[in-house]
Amino acid sequence: QLQLQESGSGLVKPSQTLSLTCAVSGGSISSGGYSWSWIRQPPGKGLEWIGYIYHSGSTYYNPSLKSRVTISVDRSKNQFSLKLSSVTAADTAVYYCARAHVGDHAFDIWGQGTMVTVSS
């Protein structure tokens, strides 16, 4: 059973860069056929898709965040990562990683989520 686990800094200062990693276990990120996404949810609010990466390394970012987002994959460690630069309080959220089949892009597996607070 494939599982996803987010990790990273829970507290980031304004203007700095948020960095998170999603470890994939029970399966290989290099197997193909899937996209690997980051999704966030501000406290008490809805879900916002940030972007995804394929095992090949190709990416697509939400235009609303594109100028600040980088998603990368490390096949040797079976993980993918998110970097969000120039953060503000508006970036405070629970950040989820999730997998979707490339055929339908329905998110069938999610990580448990990690809370990131932007504060000085």
Partner 1 sequence: EIVLTQSPDFQSVTPKEKVTITCRASQSIGSSLHWYQQKPDQSPKLLIKYASQSFSGVPSRFSGSGSGTDFTLTINSLEAEDAATYYCHQSSSLPLTFGPGTKVDIK
* Contacting residues toward partner 1, per CB under 8 A: 37, 46-49, 52, 60, 62-64, 96, 100, 104-108, 110-113
Least distance from C-beta 55 to partner 1, angstroms? 18
Please check whether residue 81 is in contact with residue 21, taking contact to mean a CB–CB distance below 8 angstroms: yes
Q: Residue 16 or residue 54: which is nearer to partner 1 going by CB?
A: 54
Least distance from C-beta 103 to partner 1, angstroms? 10
Least distance from C-beta 91 to partner 1, angstroms? 17
Largest CA distance in the chain: 42
Using CA atoms, how far apart are residues 31 and 34, in angstroms rounded to an integer?
8
Q: What is the DSSP letter of 9?
A: -
